[in-house]
Structure 1
Amino acid sequence: MALFDTTLRDGEQTPGVSFTTGQKVEIARHLAEIGVTAIEAGFPASSAEEREAVKAVVDAGTGATICGLARMRKEDVDACLDCGVEMVHLFIPTSEVQREHTVRMRMDEVLAATAEVVGYARAHVDQVLFSPMDATRTDWDDLVRVCQAAVRAGATAVNIPDTVGVMTPSAMKELITRIVKEVKAPIDVHCHNDFGLAVANTLAAVEAGASQVQVTVNGMGERAGNADLAQTVMALEAVYGIKTGVETARLVETSRLVSRYAGLPVPPAQPVVGENAFAHESGIHAHGILEHPETFEPGVMTPEMVGHRRRIKFGKHAGRHAVAQMLADVRLTPNDTQLDQILEQVKAISGRGRRVTDADLYAIAGEVIGMGDVTPSVQVSDISVLTGNHTLPTASIRMVVDGTEKVACSTGNGPVDAAMRAILGCLPEPVHLKEFSIEAITGGTDAIGHVTIAVEDPAGHIFDASASSDDIVTASVEAMVNAVNLVRRTGKEG
């Protein structure tokens, strides 16, 4: 199954998103590395900056087929050709509502323009993809006529876009089945997610004979977005047994790369790549997972297959088995009475609406078991942060690490980022900051901020910790140090 990724074109049409040329090139390289064979780099005729970006993606030599989008105009085709793309994607509105209110063209005019411009493009480039825009709301006879006209003119593939996301899987399957019979060219589909059906409609099209599917990373795109790359790939690979050629173990990495460049966080509950995709809190679920992962996971899709990690989380639904296992991992062995006390405190904290971190669990367990205070291996002696309108945020920190004083200075995108970088600069082993969140737990300008941090050790294990203060930097530093101490203690004891 061929994948056509349009993150750099339709994905960038997400409100508020704008990739730099460098980011576009890096994303394209990454997509090609993981196995995406066709990448729509942008819409060259839209601006000089867009032409430069598309040309840069072409010049990067990713190995994937690079496509440029064009309206049904020769000058748009020329803009694509000037960038050196290997494929031109031509589109024209075909539904009555779009023809009348966007391009003001009769259907016979659409047919004539399609034949002329598709033929022009095909004379200059080997691959031409044709899209009858708003195909799923286009009269059936008109849809067939325009698709057939495009193929006669030289289109090498036909895309059927569900432009406003109105299809259902059963309707999409029926439509593509009919299109495959009437149009003698490979069929591609482009599904929007207005009703949350983009992936389902894409899969229905595959069942009906579509040979290529259009996707975006994290489902980005106009309005509610497009079919999500990770979800589509894993459904095809794990549920349908259809090979996509994608290196699935890098799907989470891909999601995070694009999320960072787009400035759009991935929702925790996002299928496949979200932080909660393989996280379990309920006692019954956690117990089952620890005994046999397939009890409450699909089985055909494991966290390792997509580059994820399984996590047991703690809250008011936590069970004794999961808590006991987590403590056993760091060689804490409470008796039954102590375990009940630990579990009671965990649930009490969660019941007050607060997230229970790994550091919270170990601290509670230490108190209940009566271990006494354990001197942390990392302690902050002093930290100062300089910031301002004309000053690059800079943090200087003095720490004691395993009894030895360490000093580091770092700049960052803000005072908190600078402080985090300074802390990491004092550590002898690599620790990767995975999550950072802050919330105000009191009101007013002097509000108390509660910071929660998750870090990953070199082995891929994730640990989280939190802290609160009326100073955001102080809370962030304390939470980070708590998490780092947890990583180092677990590594020594585990």
Structure 2
Amino acid sequence: MKIKVLDTTLRDGEQTPGVSLTSKEKFRIATKLDEIGIDFIEAGSAITSEGERQSIKEITKQGFNAEILSFSRPLKGDIDFCLECDVDAVNLVVPTSKLHIYEKLKKTPEELIDLSNNAIDYCKDHGLTIEMSAEDASRSNVDFLKSVYMDAIEHGVDRICVCDTVGILTPDTSYNLFNQLSDIKVPISCHCHNDFGLAVANTLSALKGGATEIHTTVNGIGERAGNTSFEECVVSIDRLLPDFSTDIKIDQIYNVSKLVARLTGVYIQPNKAIVGENAFSHESGIHSDGIIKNSATYEPITPELVGRTRKFVLGKHMGTHGLNSRLNELGLKVNETQLQQICDDVKGLADKGKTVTDVDLQIIADNVLEINHEDRIKLDEVTIVSGNKVMPTASVKITIDDEQILNAGVGLGPVDASINAIKSLDIFRDVDLIEYHVDSITGGTDAFIDVIIKLQKGDKVVSARGTEPDIINASVKAYIAGVNRLLRD
């Protein structure tokens, strides 16, 4: 069975606390959603503001393949704003639980049904497709819920939606609810929230119970704990439910996930399924060995399926197979004895709580392979003068090819001044600093500072690292280490 996907990233997803998308950002996301095969895009809520309406209009005038909807309450004013935006359809949201009807709307059930039917009539009179969403359906009396739906269908509604507004369904109750509604003769969709972490599971159960459409948000963003995760749900349908399928271009999932993360500023946790940075990363030696022999041993899907690549992580749990794979990628060939020694040294570094980078691995491998280079440049001393009314000035004493040199420089800050003090020397002149990154790797005011830099000379690019309690010393040492690497290469 072909399952339709309604994506509400631009409406429900934007209700994530702290998220507010510009018109251009919404347009970029909508364009990508249309490209990857989304059937319905809920572009926003037209009643919200003039800016929101402009955003929706920008999307509706593009002629996307996807049907473009706006959220609407069962009110003439809301619907008029939807019409102004020239949307194809409305997501007409009608509360159906006693809690919402009596406490929020202050109406009777009969008044609620009249309100719903009148809104549907108004929409149909103006040529709109209607998906009627029963808000808080999962806490509604099923007989009453059905009567609301049947009345809506008689008035011409095109699709209906069951909303688990506060995420209280479980896979069993989700299946049972949709099964009870399966005799309804229009398409039924499922809109789940993730308050108990069950949104994807409940959505999959809804499909087995009779739903033919799902509501999702990219990365599962949304109010509180978020909505059904688009990428998790679509890939699960593709791989775990052989009787169902979608038209989504699954190999583009990672791209749209990263786009939404960048534009919304909502961080993707590393261990998130499908799109988290750790989803296809392996450190354990047993796992890495199995993956290299046959990826199916420890991966239910290949990373390429969703536009990803596999990573082997350096750390204390790694084994020699994964390490050797990484060494080969770095162009380093080792025998079994050397490989084991490098593995032991990497684990020793990781045991101290240190993140093991490729730079660390290169240094460890060089030492084990006895490729001991005599550095041409050595740092002897750095002295800084800085203050509120004093331009930061640095003097450095370094040894170049056994000749001791003293030089000075100024800069916007003490680190800049220190680097400038050595950059002006002839041996550094053709070297460009193209990346500079600082991390505090311990807590407190005496924290160790980890400086990672990237340098370029001609077509050669190297990374280097300095770790010190003093950010100035760490920065200068990293810079000199990188230049020594360039000179060796």
Shorter-chain TM-score: which interval? 0.7 to 0.9
CA distance in 2, matches of 1:375, 1:59: 63
CA RMSD of aligned residues (A): 3.4
Q: Residues 423-481 of structure 1, C-alpha deviation per residue, up to 9 Å, x if partnerless? A: 8xxxxxxxxxxxx884442422x744336799xxxxxxxx99865465499869959x9
Q: Residues 137-193 of structure 1, C-alpha deviation per residue, up to 9 Å, x if partnerless? A: 001111001111111111100010110000011111111111121x22100110111
2:73 maps to what in 1? 71
Question: Closer, same or farther in 2 for the Cα pair 1:264/1:225, shift >3 Å?
Answer: same
1:28 maps to what in 2? 30
2:86 maps to what in 1? 84
1:236 maps to what in 2? 237
Contact 1:357 1:464 in 2 (8 A): no
Question: Closer, same or farther in 2 for the Cα pair 1:32/1:467, shift >3 Å?
Answer: farther
Q: CA deviation at 1:68?
A: 0.3
In structure 2, runs of 5+ residues without a counterpart are 377-407, 414-419, 455-461
Instruction: Report the secondary structure of 1:89's partner residue.
Output: strand
The count of residues paired between Structure 1 and Structure 2 equals 436
Question: Closer, same or farther in 2 for the Cα pair 1:309/1:57, shift >3 Å?
Answer: same
CA distance in 1, matches of 2:271, 2:438: 16
1:17 to 16, 19, 27: 19
- Are 1:337 and 2:362 matched, yes or no? no
CA distance in 2, matches of 1:88, 1:473: 61
Q: Residues 70-122 of structure 1, C-alpha deviation per residue, up to 9 Å, x if partnerless? A: 11101101111100000111112111112222111111111111111111112
Amino acid at match of 1:315: G
Question: Closer, same or farther in 2 for the Cα pair 1:73/1:475, shift >3 Å?
Answer: farther
1:460 maps to what in 2? none
The sequence identity of aligned pairs, in percent, is 37
2:356 maps to what in 1? 356
CA distance in 1, matches of 2:305, 2:8: 24
2:271 maps to what in 1? 269
Question: Closer, same or farther in 2 for the Cα pair 1:153/1:399, shift >3 Å?
Answer: farther
1:108 maps to what in 2? 110
1:138 to 133, 137, 140: 140
Instruction: Report the secondary structure of 1:91's partner residue.
Output: strand
Instruction: Report the secondary structure of 1:7's partner residue.
Output: coil
Amino acid at match of 2:271: A
| Normalised TM-score (structure 1) | 0.80
Superposition pairs for residues 166-177 of structure 1, below 5 Å? 166-177=168-179
Superposition pairs for residues 263-302 of structure 1, below 5 Å? 263-298=265-300, 301-302=301-302
Amino acid at match of 2:430: E
2:201 maps to what in 1? 200
Superposition pairs for residues 119-130 of structure 1, below 5 Å? 119-130=121-132
CA distance in 1, matches of 2:228, 2:476: 36
Amino acid at match of 1:234: V
Question: Closer, same or farther in 2 for the Cα pair 1:467/1:269, shift >3 Å?
Answer: farther
1:319 maps to what in 2? 319
Amino acid at match of 1:288: G
Question: Closer, same or farther in 2 for the Cα pair 1:478/1:303, shift >3 Å?
Answer: farther
Between 320-329 and 142-151, report the one with greater CA deviation: 320-329
Q: CA deviation at 1:202?
A: 0.7
Instruction: Report the secondary structure of 1:266's partner residue.
Output: coil
Contact 2:168 2:195 in 1 (8 A): yes
Instruction: Report the secondary structure of 1:244's partner residue.
Output: coil
Amino acid at match of 1:90: L
Contact 1:451 1:476 in 2 (8 A): no
- Are 1:405 and 2:430 matched, yes or no? yes
Contact 1:25 1:57 in 2 (8 A): yes
Amino acid at match of 1:229: F
Q: CA deviation at 1:349?
A: 1.7
Amino acid at match of 1:267: Q
Contact 1:450 1:468 in 2 (8 A): yes
Q: Residues 358-397 of structure 1, C-alpha deviation per residue, up to 9 Å, x if partnerless? A: 2222221111111123999xxxxx999869xxxxxxx9x9
CA distance in 1, matches of 2:441, 2:105: 50
Instruction: Report the secondary structure of 1:45's partner residue.
Output: coil
Instruction: Report the secondary structure of 1:69's partner residue.
Output: strand
Question: Closer, same or farther in 2 for the Cα pair 1:87/1:152, shift >3 Å?
Answer: same
Instruction: Report the secondary structure of 2:47's partner residue.
Output: helix
Instruction: Report the secondary structure of 2:27's partner residue.
Output: helix
Question: Closer, same or farther in 2 for the Cα pair 1:467/1:250, shift >3 Å?
Answer: farther
CA distance in 2, matches of 1:302, 1:152: 47
Q: Residues 295-324 of structure 1, C-alpha deviation per residue, up to 9 Å, x if partnerless? A: 1011xx210010101011011111122112
Q: Residues 336-357 of structure 1, C-alpha deviation per residue, up to 9 Å, x if partnerless? A: 3332221122112212222212
Q: CA deviation at 1:126?
A: 3.7
Contact 2:465 2:477 in 1 (8 A): no
1:369 maps to what in 2? 369
CA distance in 2, matches of 1:451, 1:275: 22
1:391 maps to what in 2? none
CA distance in 2, matches of 1:155, 1:306: 36
1:257 maps to what in 2? 259
CA distance in 2, matches of 1:93, 1:338: 68
In structure 1, runs of 5+ residues without a counterpart are 377-381, 388-394, 409-418, 424-435, 455-462
Amino acid at match of 1:343: C
Contact 2:452 2:478 in 1 (8 A): no
Contact 1:25 1:60 in 2 (8 A): no
Contact 2:45 2:52 in 1 (8 A): yes
